[in-house]
Amino acid sequence: MKIICNGAKKEIQEDAILVDFLKSLDLDPDTVVVECDGEIIARKDYESQILVDGTKLELIRFVGGG
Amino acid sequence: MTNIPGKNELDAVLVERHSEEICLRLQRATVAVMGLGGLGSSVAVALVRIGVGKLLLADYDAVELSNLNRQYYFLDQLGLPKTEALQQNLARINPYLRIDLINRRLTEEMIPELFSDADVVVECFDDPIMKAAGLRAVLTAMPGVGYVGASGVAGYGENNIIQTRKIQDHIYLVGDFESAAEDGISLMAPRVGIAAHHQANQVLRILLGVDT
């Protein structure tokens, strides 16, 4: 199935979990803000949020330093 | 100590430079700065210099010698809480502004409670987990509040890849979005300062209603 992540199509497994998808991109889930079909996802929901066909994700990743 | 100019004198000079309309808007503004390191200490200095009426300054750390390569503190302030040290330094620029200190470690849940009165929240954390938490807190629980975060400010990469990116109305992020402070790449005054002043100018633009 396909999802759209930051504007680009991505082929992923059926019923993938958000946190696993983030890790597959080599991202630390704690450093990423996720908008899923227009909704900001609470951090505690990353482990339960299921990605369905056609889901539109917007990811903002942060790097350290300030 | 020599006599310092009074409030009216400082205000008059700012009005002469910036115009009455701009000064009034800035005097009425409240800006929260989360994290008082290389970004936050310079952002606060810039905002005090232009006369922002009220600042809420949050940090849990003390001034260390290793901070002085980029942060707005001085040798005789080592060991002081950053909140208090910065308040002292800001008072030497303009002692007539209101500065509230929050000397504790912030969490995502605390941000909307502490800063609901702010016109703009500036995220100047070091920790990328708190950077994400800060943006999430404002997007989910602080509708209408301006936000200027930062990511990717380390090293001595090119000046012009530091950008100010609009995420949505009132929400902006500054940085090159890649240069992390990690092995072999440290934070240095020049580039952190570029990013801090991008942030401060974006705060100003939001306060003046130039950018929605």
Q: Read off the pLDDT of residues B105-154 as tens digits, 9 standing for 90 and up.
A: 999 999 999 999 999 999 999 999 999 999 999 999 999 999 999 999 99
Residue pair B185/B67 in contact by the 8 Å Cβ criterion: no
Q: What are phi and psi of A62, to 5 degrees?
A: -110, 145
Residue pair B126/B37 in contact by the 8 Å Cβ criterion: yes
pLDDT band of residue B1 (cuts 50, 70, 90) is low
Tokens describing residue B68:
């002085």
Query: Three-state SS for B182?
Result: strand
Q: List, for residues A53-66, the tens digit of each pLDDT value.
A: 999 999 999 999 99
Place of tokens 């009005």: B15
Q: What is the pTM of this model?
A: 0.97
CATH fold, domain A2-61, is Ubiquitin-like (UB roll) (3.10.20)
DSSP A54: T
Length of chain B in terms of residues written = 212
Q: List, for residues B75-95, the tens digit of each pLDDT value.
A: 999 999 999 999 999 999 999
DSSP B56: E
CA dist B96 and B99 (Å) reads 9
Query: Three-state SS for A61?
Result: strand
Which CATH architecture fits B17-207? 3-Layer(aba) Sandwich (3.40)
Place of tokens 């012009």: B160
Beta carbons within 8 Å of B95's beta carbon, 6+ residues apart: B4
User: Residue A43 has what pLDDT?
Assistant: 98
User: Residue B212 has what pLDDT?
Assistant: 79
- For the residues B3-12, what does the mean pLDDT come to? 96
Q: What are phi and psi of B18, to 5 degrees?
A: -105, -15
User: Residue B2 has what pLDDT?
Assistant: 73
Contacts of B182 in chain A (CB under 8 A): 64
Closest CA to B131 of B47, B201, B195: B195
Q: Is the pLDDT of residue B184 over 90?
A: no
Q: List, for residues A27-55, the tens digit of each pLDDT value.
A: 999 999 999 999 999 999 999 999 999 99
Which residue in B132, B181, B192 is closest to A33 by CB distance?
B132
What's the ipTM? 0.96
CB contact under 8 A, B136 and A32: no
Chain A / chain B CB contacts < 8 angstroms: 75
Beta carbons within 8 Å of A36's beta carbon, 6+ residues apart: A18, A49, A51, A55, A56, A57
CB contact under 8 A, A65 and B35: no
Q: List, for residues B29-60, the tens digit of each pLDDT value.
A: 999 999 999 999 999 999 999 999 999 999 99
- CA of A65, closest CA in chain B: separation in Å? 4
CB contact under 8 A, A66 and B153: yes
Q: Is the pLDDT of residue B183 over 90?
A: no
